[in-house]
Structure 1
């Protein structure tokens, strides 16, 4: 865990090196968030990451969403994604569960053009599947906003794991 004093004292390059992976394969979010320093609290830092994402143009937002892996995939994941998905039981699915996730991932991407985003920390695979089943019927605009909101939750979880109060 890193304290705010150390975070506020980091060079821009060091800040990006330390937090550039909070947003999946999108270090530009950390660059933008880091420009809002000094932070008075961890929540203010988390808010800076959310503000950076929400202030970006739709193309940048979509690219960040598309940088996220499918849930329960066998593809290579970032360390954070691997840990988060394992914690939700997604690394130990039955063959039937894996087939269900694979089907939902394919249907969701075909409908919306980006992967299903769900901040899995603290969730069970049943909770994730229920959300998947419900959200696949949303409008594209509603689901885009849901994806952004879930990415912001991921920011929170990852920063809470790394930044001391």
Structure 2
């Protein structure tokens, strides 16, 4: 599905419902984030929109930030196997090569995903578009050694990266950096 990028002036003219429809999944399954920042229009550019979403997330209590992480699917997990990921997650996981895991890699990923979820209470989140399967598997193994506080912070950083790339898909961004 090809997404039409909108000019920031068009974004600023959107009513609340249209804004939620367009930006409601820049944070996976969390349209509340888009709903919360709509009131900050007009946005100067896509970076300003991203900054407002990031500020909203940062201002959430710990439980709210954990809930944002819990809204993400396991990488190469059950939902991916059933074809039930969002279109955004499907594209991102495919770009990282997670749709082409060997059986051994799939087993390793599932084991570590389960261990991670048990240890931290939310799924492992990494910006798949900035990584390939090998780096994701290594990152998962490495991050299992972190403290819960470090993982909450790291997970939110990754969520913001995912959000930024999704925003770049939706908003024209000539002259704006394509990475954070």
**TM-score normalised by length of structure 2:** 0.89
The aligned counterpart of 1:55 is 59
The aligned counterpart of 1:106 is 114
- Once the two structures are superposed, residues 24-60 of structure 1 have per-residue CA deviations (whole angstroms, 9 ceiling, x without a partner) of 1111100112221101111111111111111122222
User: 1:93 aligned to 2:67?
Assistant: no
Distance 1:70 1:135 in 2: 15
Distance 2:39 2:137 in 1: 37
Q: Where does the alignment leave 5 or more consecutive residues of structure 1 unmatched?
A: none
The aligned counterpart of 1:117 is 125
Distance 2:140 2:11 in 1: 36
User: 1:131 aligned to 2:135?
Assistant: no
The aligned counterpart of 1:18 is 22
User: 1:149 aligned to 2:153?
Assistant: no
Q: How does 1:4-15 map to 2 (within 5 A)?
A: 4-15=8-19
Q: Residue 100 of structure 1: CA displacement?
A: 0.6
Distance 1:13 1:61 in 2: 24
The aligned counterpart of 2:178 is none
User: 1:69 aligned to 2:77?
Assistant: no
Distance 1:152 1:50 in 2: 7
Cα RMSD for the two superposed structures: 0.9
